[in-house]
Amino acid sequence: MLLDVGNIVRLRLLSICGLALVLFFSAAIVFSVQVPVPNQQPSGAPSQAIPSASPAQTGTPGVASAPISAQPLQSGLNIVVLDPAHGGTDPGARGTGGMRESDIVLDLAAEVRRALEQQGFQVVQTRQGNDNPSFDDRSALANAQRGAVFVTLHISSTGLPGTVRVYIHSDLPPLTDANGMIPWDRAQAPFLGLSRKFGDLVQGFLTQRFKGSPDTPQAAMVRQLRTTAAPAIAVEISSVVVNDRSDLDRMAPGVADAIARGAAAFKPQYVVPGVPGVQP
Amino acid sequence: MMGRWKFWVVTALVITLVAAAIYIPILRKRMKRAARQQQQSEEQARRELIQPVPVNPGDPRVRTTLFWASDSDGSALAPVVIELPLSKDPVLRSKQVLNTLLAGPVDTELRTLPPDAVLLAFYILPDGTAIADFSEAMATSIPSGIVSEQLAVDSMARTLEANVPQIQRLKILIHGQEVETLAGHVDLTGTFVVNTKLAAPPAPSGPSSVAMPAPKP
């Protein structure tokens, strides 16, 4: 018998030695490897393809989607995925008095959520607190829903204060591979027409309320929208250069109401294909 | 027997601590050296950048169209025509117009690119794709937002379209690297269509082949 396990003192000594060894080797690994951990996944990394048959059915990047027939089929828009942009180490636009876009959009999302729930929508948020999911993680959350639209919320650094702009993604050449799958990095391509309709409605309601806002949604290469397989818009409020945050907070109910009314108006126009194999 | 066990454990611990005491300072030195080398290479790149684009006084002065913001709210572009001595070589010409764009208009409120950004490198591939490599200030000093970032990219694409007909597409790099976004919003993984008449359709796959039409004037 080498060791009397009943002796607590020796056990403690052993534990301390073991802990010291583990700590040392952990420290050595951390110091020597020094591998930077990317905050965002590189856009080209996910190799997952989205079945063209399903406008809103994908999984996490890199994980194969479940067969369409395995999921219950529903028709009609019933879910809104809200994306308060930035967060964590990425504050987004920064304004006077330490205003951070990431904080403001989180509060705005709560207001939008309430308005949408009053309209009978189920709301899913890409982040609830001060964290920063990657672009692909945010898209994956939307792509996993069936019958969803996606709204990403932003505050700009520039632009006429008190105005709100809706953006849709610029034209993406539609592309499917030999199996009829849409590449992850072009997931938005089949939904551009629907995104424009949804954007038109939301921008219309916003322009009624916020004078000086454009009449129609603008096209821009918004990274977040590109990998989203659903009707998707970005809503950007101008701007963080206001003197007081209360100026932006006062806009929140109007923005929330416009998004909720836009989603409600869009609902009859968005019929989720009940038969697999049909693109939107 | 127990005494020997204790001896070996204590010996192992001592060896571990000694190894740690030797190894960790070496690692620290290596890290400091690596950081110093990175700083030096950044300085070198900066010095190279500061070298002005050679301007040949013999180059003819031509009407050059530059696109800056059209109004103080910074949401649209407007063409400004000025006369500049421009090279006939498309790469030199591109550098000249982009540097003028970076220098900004008389009214600084109308600038679309950050004043401290520098064009590090510019070259044109045989297929008409131009690669513009900017210093980190392009990403860190630009006002964050969809409207400001899209305006910056559009001002470059449209200025090149107006002055360098050989360029079909524009790829933007930051400090030699492909980055996902300019400042958190506009996608830089693809290329931007510069010459809408000449640009060929994008390659069949990959985000780097995604090409966007230049906005209509």
Question: Which CATH number is A240's domain given?
Answer: 3.40.630.40
Q: Give pLDDT, residue A34.
A: 45
What is the structure's pLDDT at A26?
Answer: 65
Cα(A152)–Cα(A270) distance, integer angstroms: 19
Mean pLDDT calculated for residue range A42-55: 41
Of B5, B148, B206, which has the smallest distance from its Cβ to A44's Cβ?
Answer: B206
Q: d(Cα B152, Cα B34) in Å, to the nearest integer?
A: 34
Prediction ipTM score: 0.72
Write the CB contacts of B124 (distance below 8 Å, at least 6 apart in sequence).
B90, B91, B94, B130, B131, B166, B167
Which pLDDT value is given to residue B158? 96
- Tell which wins on pLDDT, A56 or B91: B91
Whether residue A19 lies inside any domain: the answer is no
Tell me which chain A residues have a C-beta less than 8 angstroms from the C-beta of B17: 20, 24
The residues of chain B scoring below 50 in pLDDT are: 47, 202-217
Concatenated DSSP letters of A50-78: EETT-TT---STTSPPPPGGGSPP--S--
Q: What is the mean pLDDT of residues A23-45?
A: 47
The pLDDT mean for chain A works out to 80
Task: Give the DSSP letter of residue A224.
Answer: H
In a domain, A106, yes or no: yes
Backbone phi, psi, residue B13, to 5°: -65, -45
For chain B, the C-alpha Rg in angstroms (whole number) is: 25
Tokens (6 digits) for A126: 């890409």
Contact B213 A170 (CB under 8 A): yes
AA identity, residue B134: F
Give chain A's domain count: 1
pLDDT digits (tens, 9 = 90+) for A103-147: 999 999 999 999 999 999 999 999 999 999 999 999 999 999 988
Q: What are A204-246's pLDDT values in tens digits?
A: 999 999 999 999 999 999 999 999 999 999 999 998 888 788 8
Give dist(CA B198, CA A138) in Å, integer.
36
Strand B61-69 vs strand B211-212: parallel, antiparallel, or unpaired? Answer: unpaired
B contact residues 50-79, partner A, Cβ 8 Å cutoff:
73-75
What letter represents residue A158's amino acid?
A: T
Q: Which of A4, A173, A222 sits opposite B146 (nearest CB)?
A: A222
- The pLDDT, as a whole number, for residue A29 is 59
Residue A238 lies in a domain: yes
Residue A263 lies in a domain: yes
Share of chain A above pLDDT 70, in %: 72
Q: Which distant-in-sequence residues (6+ apart) come within 8 Å of B167 by Cβ?
A: B90, B94, B124, B128, B129, B130, B160, B161, B194, B195
Q: Chain A within 8 Å of B121 (Cβ-Cβ)?
A: no
Which of A160, A181, A172, A171 has its CA nearest to residue A236? A160
Question: Token pair 């002065």 is at which residue?
Answer: B61
**In A, which residues are within 8 Å of B184 by CB distance?**
85-86, 90, 92
Q: How far apart are CA B70 and CA B74, in angstroms?
A: 7
| pLDDT at position A278 over 80 | no
Q: Computed from CA positions of residues A46, A49, A54, A57, in that sequence, does the dihedral angle turn out positive or negative?
A: negative
Per-residue pLDDT at A70 exceeds 60 = no
Task: Report d(CA B212, CA A228) in Å as an integer.
Answer: 17
> Can you tell me the distance from the alpha carbon of A42 to that of B181, in angstroms, rounded to the nearest whole number?
10
Give domain status of residue A116, yes or no.
Answer: yes
User: Closest by alpha carbon to A81, among A38, A42, A116?
Assistant: A116
B111 vs A144: CA distance, rounded Å: 41
- β-pairing verdict for B191-193 and B169-174: antiparallel
| A86/B1 Cβ within 8 A | no
DSSP string, A144-189: TSSSEEEEEEEE-SSS-TT-EEEEEEPP------TTSEEEGGGTTG
pLDDT digits (tens, 9 = 90+) for B19-35: 999 899 899 888 888 88
Which DSSP category does A5 fall into?
T
Task: List the domain range (segments joined by +) for residue A128.
Answer: 49-68+75-269
Could you tell me the two tokens for B195?
A: 């010459």
Q: Which residue, A75, A101, A78, A70, is CA-closest to A88?
A: A101
Angle at A119 between CA A132 and CA B146, to 5 degrees: 35
Cβ distance A68 to A137 under 8 Å? Answer: no
The answer to whether residue A264 scores a pLDDT higher than 60 is yes
Is residue A137 situated within a structural domain?
yes
Rg (CA), chain A: 23
Enumerate residues 187 to 206 of chain B having a beta carbon within 8 A of any beta carbon in chain A: 187, 189-190, 192, 201-202, 204-206
